[in-house]
Amino acid sequence: MAKVAVVLSGCGVYDGSEIHEAVAVLYHLSRAGAAYECFAPDKPQMHVVDHATGQAAPGQTRNVLEESARIARGKIRPLAQLHARDFDCVIFPGGFGAAKNLCDFAVKGAEMAVDPDAERVVKEFHGSGKPVGMCCIAPVIGAKVLGTRAGGPGAQVTIGDDAQAAAAIAAWGSKNIVKRVTESQADEANRLVTAAAYMYGGAPVHEVFEGIGRMVEGVLSRVGKR
């Protein structure tokens, strides 16, 4: 049975993990018979968004770990406690939390910085030859950390057909491969599997689940294969 770490970034598309995507990841892992454990940074969110209006809620603060625990049904640990030696692979669902709390791409674009623990986790799994999965906007983290500009080999990911994100990915020395929402992208050299998911914002939920299912399948199929 594969042991999978799932890295969350809050709860809710505009300031945390995209809930449909996070549930899709957990659903497909469960269907495949994999064991999983959730992790999230124990720190304040970048900001809080009222999901009924889409507007920031001034004066409110929330903790990424506490919010992520809503999705994990309370079974979650701080990201600082995640180490590649304890798991076979790691998956990062998307949502703006990935671009606001795991990195600051939503604010700084190509000049973004990655959360230190998120960067460490990607490097640990990659360096151990263990598969990494990412969907929606989360692949920018892999593209940045593994990009040639950061001294890495360069990565091939999909964030769909978003031109701005693709330009940033290219600037880091990685490459975006346009895939449909129902498809996944496998970078064999880096053992990195990605799916665009809600980067196609109008996609039906069943198609998002299908693409994430292919990403999860791609990650699990590479467990134990070096």
Taking the CB of residue 93, how many other CB atoms lie within 10 A of it? 32
Rounded to whole angstroms, the Cα distance separating 62 from 81 reads: 20
Helix (H, G, I), strand (E, B) or coil at 37: strand
Could you tell me if 212 and 135 are in contact, meaning their C-beta atoms sit under 8 angstroms apart? yes
Contact (CB, 8 A) for 79 and 98: no
Backbone angles phi, psi at 225, to 5 degrees: -110, 120
φ/ψ (deg, to 5) at 19: -65, -45
Whether 136 is catalytic is yes
Distance of CA 168 to the CA centre of its chain: 17
Do residues 93 and 22 lie in contact, with contact meaning Cβ atoms separated by under 8 Å? yes
Residues identified as active-site: 136
